[in-house]
Amino acid sequence: MSTIGNASPGTGLEPPGAAIGAAAAIGAPEGALRVRMEQRSERSLAAEEAAGRRLALKGRIVALVAIAFVNFLTLPFPQSLYYEAMLLLFLVSGLARYGLERLGFFRWWFPYAQVVIDAVLLAAVLVLPNPLGGMEQPLQLELRFSNFTYFYILLVELAFSYQPKLVVWGGVACSLVWGATVALIASLADTDIADVARLVYDPTIPQIASPTFVDLRAPFVNVMVFLTVSMLMAAVVARSRHLVLRQSTLERERVNLARHFPPAIVDRLAAQDRTTLADTREQRAAIMFADLVGFTKWAEPHPPHDVIVMLRAVHARLEDEVFRHHGMLDKFTGDGMMATFGTLDPEPDDIANAVACVRSIVDDFAAWNRERAQRGAPPVSISVGLHYGPVVLGNIGTERRLEFAVLGDTVNVAARLETLTRQLHASAVISMDVADALKLADPETADRLLDGFAYRGRATLKGRMHPVTVLSYG
């Protein structure tokens, strides 16, 4: 019989019952984790809002340039200069807010104040006479034109903000400003207010021809339609905001899951509202440890850059084999790794995949060493340990750091089997529990996968009272 050395995998040496009880007592602060994820999502959304404000400024510039071009073509000189100057004020308003934000003076109420300023400025441009000349006409006559449609440009610009409240505020503020403007004009002494009842029956009455005639129904309809559109647009922005938050969360979950699971199942896990990782439970699984032999001695004379390059190459090969055999990459342990098979959704072929992965890792590193030998590079020795049995799964840690863990005596045995490879002068050591489970699941596959494994008897592992029967490969 063999006795294992002093290497410790850092997973504890408690018996299965103790490990399971401890994990159940720990629990997982899922609420705190969810709060932190929401906070990170809010920060991401704040960045998107800032990008939206920059995009809104670009949109404002494009719109102002387009309107200036139309004014240049349709209005005579010098009357057009007045409107070009007003457009310049709108540009200054947008640039001022952007400049304050760049200087770090941005306040949450800046966009709300700018909406009011823009609305007042636009209302003044639409109804006040041009001071640079042109045909003078009563203010009441301005209400008969479709000038109110310019307010929709302001509303569309607000949609870039990803803030439904700001869009609603824009609809209300513009409606109030235009309503106040209409009310002031209607209050003028010479204003001829429409008799709605008479207009319904006789729309050709001479009252309509009066330049001071005001039909309040048109402004009322304009304001109501504008408010309706603003509410609908706010709903669209709220929906977009929700999608951005959800996509940000899903992408973060997908990145985190991709560190552990094969790409084929990452999307399925990320799409679930609550994955199986959130539940603490006990089940049977295959646990694998892999480690480089003599890496510490090899790294001592080599520069840090070479050490990192070697580790990345080794980790990449191990990761590829684990994912190719539908395993879960639990963690990289310095110059090695821990992987599991059957910890997500247990399948009948989990144990077969685990044994096949052991063989593939050993064979892959043997082929890699042949390539390295042709280049004159030293060989890379890998050691692998595999055990099958009950484990406990769940999230452990604190609010600051929470991670998914696989615990139990099965994990400890797998780590000890990996270390046992040095004493048995083998590349891989698996327990008889693995071989028995494989034979029970699929006898034909077991004969093929266990071909080349040698029976090595019973081994006493550090920290365990009962010996383990083992087989070696490579």
Task: Report the CATH number at residue 339.
Answer: 3.30.70.1230
CA angle, 381 as apex, 428 and 390 as ends, to 5°? 30
Which element (helix H / strand E) includes 189? Answer: none
Distance separating alpha carbons of residues 70 and 329, to the nearest angstrom: 63
pLDDT band at 405 (very low <50, low <70, confident <90, very high): confident
Q: At what angle do helices 30-74 and 151-158 cross, to 10 degrees?
A: 150
Residue 264 lies in a domain: no
Judgement on whether residues 77 and 139 belong to the same structural domain of the protein? yes
**Do the domain assignments include residue 363?**
yes
Average pLDDT, stretch 76-82? 83
340: which residues sit within 8 A by CB, 6+ positions away? 285, 286, 287, 288, 327, 328, 330, 391, 406
| Lowest-confidence region among 260-274, 389-403, 421-435 | 260-274
CB 355 within 8 A of CB 429: no
* Residue 22 sits in the same domain as residue 67: no
Q: How confident is the model at residue 26, as a pLDDT?
A: 35
Same domain for 388 and 464, yes or no, is: yes
Per the CB < 8 A criterion, the answer to whether 182 and 216 are in contact is yes
Helix (H) or strand (E) holding 404: strand 402-407
- Domain membership of residue 41 (yes or no) is no
The reply to whether 468 falls in a domain is: yes
Regarding whether 222 and 326 lie in a shared domain, the answer is no
What is d(CA 41, CA 34) in angstroms, rounded to the nearest whole number?
10
Are both 402 and 466 inside the same structural domain? yes
Pair 430, 470: CB distance under 8 Å: yes
User: Predicted confidence band at 80 (pLDDT cuts at 50, 70, 90)?
Assistant: confident
- CA 466 to chain CA centroid, Å, is 47
The answer to whether 218 touches 143, Cβ cutoff 8 Å, is yes
Are 179 and 297 in a shared domain?
Answer: no
Q: What type of residue sits at position 219? A: P
Query: Are 200 and 221 spatial neighbours (Cβ–Cβ below 8 Å)?
Result: no
Q: For residue range 217-240, what is the model confidence (pLDDT) as tens digits? A: 888 899 999 999 999 999 998 998
Q: Where are the alpha helices (DSSP H) in 150-291?
A: 151-158, 164-186, 196-201, 217-258, 263-271
Residue 234 lies in a domain: yes
Q: Is residue 275 part of a domain?
A: no
Q: In angstroms, rounded to a whole number, what is the distance separating the alpha carbons of residues 139 and 395?
A: 71
Indicate whether 265 belongs to any domain.
no
Please indicate, yes or no, whether residues 335 and 467 belong to a single structural domain of this protein.
yes
Q: Both 440 and 391 in a single domain?
A: yes
The answer on 207 and 354 residing in a single domain is no
pLDDT at 117: 92
Whether 295 and 431 map to the same domain: the answer is yes
In DSSP terms, 460 is beta-bridged to 3
Q: Which residues is 459 bridged to in the sheet? A: 2, 468
240: left (phi over 0), alpha (psi -120 to 50) or beta: alpha
Q: What are phi and psi of 458, to 5 degrees?
A: -100, 135
CB 412 within 8 A of CB 11: yes
311 and 415 assigned to the same domain:
yes
* Predicted confidence band of residue 202 (pLDDT cuts 50, 70, 90): low
| Whether residue 20 has pLDDT greater than 50 | no
- Across residues 115-140, what is the average pLDDT? 83
Is 63 part of any domain?
yes
462 secondary structure, DSSP code: T
Number of domains in the chain: 2
Vertex 33 angle, CA 29 and 39, to 5°: 150
User: Considering just the CA atoms, what is the radius of gyration of the chain in Å?
Assistant: 37
Same domain for 107 and 60 = yes
Helix (H) or strand (E) holding 406: strand 402-407
Q: Which DSSP string do the residues of 292-355 spell out, in sequence order?
A: ETTHHHHHTTS-HHHHHHHHHHHHHHHHHHHHHTT-EEEEEETTEEEEEESSSS--TTHHHHHH
pLDDT in tens, 345-375: 788 899 999 999 999 999 999 999 999 899 9
Q: Name the domain boundary from 255, 290, 324.
A: 255
Is the model's pTM score more than 0.75? no
Predicted confidence band of residue 15 (pLDDT cuts 50, 70, 90): very low
Where a domain ends, among 238, 255, 272? 255
Task: Specify the residue for token string 């590193």.
Answer: 365
Q: What is the pLDDT of the chain when averaged over all its residues? A: 80
Domain that holds residue 122: 47-255
